[in-house]
Structure 1
Amino acid sequence: MNQIFLMGLIANRGLRKKYLAFFEEHHITVVLSTMAAGTASNTILDALGLEATEKTVYFALLTRDTWKSLKKELYEKMNIAVPGRGIAFLIPLSSIGGRKTLQYLTAGQTMEIEEESTLQNTDYELLVTIANGGHIETIMDAARSANAPGGTVIHAKGTGAEHAKRFLGISLAEEKEMIFIVVKTSQKQAIMKSIMERAGIGSPAGGIVFSLPVTSTAGLRLLEETEL
């Protein structure tokens, strides 16, 4: 089976156009990007002969087979092994909100649909909702109606607007919100359902949602107390 992963890739901001072209070349149509800053100390930067640089963080859903070919060319074409050129990492998905959403996020990649990740039995999961800008309260109201705790928002730019019209029949704005909510696994389905019904595809928010397994937590006292 061709498992689905969330790829995170951090690279120098000046390489943004090159990376977007690189993703397109590998048929990765939907990419979310947001600005960031590196935290390497001056001592490390001096030792490597580097200057402090601004970063861009990219997120995309990949199949295992896509990652195999992408990883090879990250080394060969993007020189990711060179200090300061970037890093990439994968996180397995545990579920995704609807078949159409999955087809949209992985279009162009060969895949077989799996039911759940091998890490499906975790106590907590991270819900990630990607929506058009300006709809944070709609999404959080939907999540809270199913007893979700608070979330964290990242502002990002998205690609694949024309692609969305073809797969989802809707027009998506380039400006995106990524909302992260850590929830108990037992609450996941109800929260995802509420978000999809009230802020999902076909709504002005145009939200899509998926979950990532969380293997350990700290600082979730209020969530833990509800289980007592």
Structure 2
Amino acid sequence: MNDEIKNDEALSETAPAPETESSVKGANAEKKPTAAKKTKKSGHGGQVAEIIQDIVRPLSRGRSKKAAGEAPTPVAPRMLAAIVERGKSVRFREILQKNGIFLSEVFMGNGTASSDILDILGLESTEKDVVISITDAEKAHSMMSKLSDQLAGSVGSKGIAFCMRLGAAPNILIKALELKSGKTPQEGKKKMNEAYTLILISVNQGYADEVVATAKKGGARGGTLLRALQASNEDSDSFFSASFSSERDVVAILAPKDRRADIMEALNAEHGVRSEANAIVIAMPVESVAKLS
């Protein structure tokens, strides 16, 4: 009797077996509710899994092959970022919205380039607006192409824009982007030439200028500074055997990919996590870059 119940439960978790005359005669009333109950439990577990998928979903680098009965992995959205002169973010966001990109946030920052670099780039001030936008891959690549071509000079500000691929995103965001575009986004067949990298350095306040000077020795041209607060606790201090200041600076440096290793090695050697600066250095690939003018 117990063996028969286990068999019925196993069948309820997989595909149902075709009914035969002998199997119908051998079934009794006790087994059917047990199987139904097991199926209901399995269904509840499926709902839980679906809720978890709605929180964060890993993303595909390309068109994934759909297995039988399995939904394809969605293509990664893109983060489009721009660093413009203070107050020019309003115009840049208007351009984004006209091109179907609506989800944006603006952060206040400061440039770290010296006065001679400002003159070379034609920048008037070190105060910056940092615009971060999320959109689908097709719109992001189209926007970057336009900024380098027909929209060049339309922002009314010197600066730079770049595009990065997201590694994970909420399922609700992916679905919203699909609904907005009216189609399921597909990764382009052309492989992006990731010639640039974004280097982020979190450092104790008061050390940003030294960090930028060291980065320049490795080949960086300058960076953008954002004020921050340390949000971790004393466990992180003991983990790194360091004492982090509660007030931090985040320096963002966009640099050629072939200079990444030199810059990061110089930063870690001079201002590593166990130095007085307590610098934490990471880098992320950048798909494309457009110079704004």
TM-score of the superposed pair, with normalisation by structure 2: 0.36
Higher Rg of the two aligned structures:
2
Higher helix share: 2
**Which structure is higher in RCO with an 8 Å CA cutoff and minimum separation 6?**
1
TM-score of the superposed pair, with normalisation by structure 1: 0.45
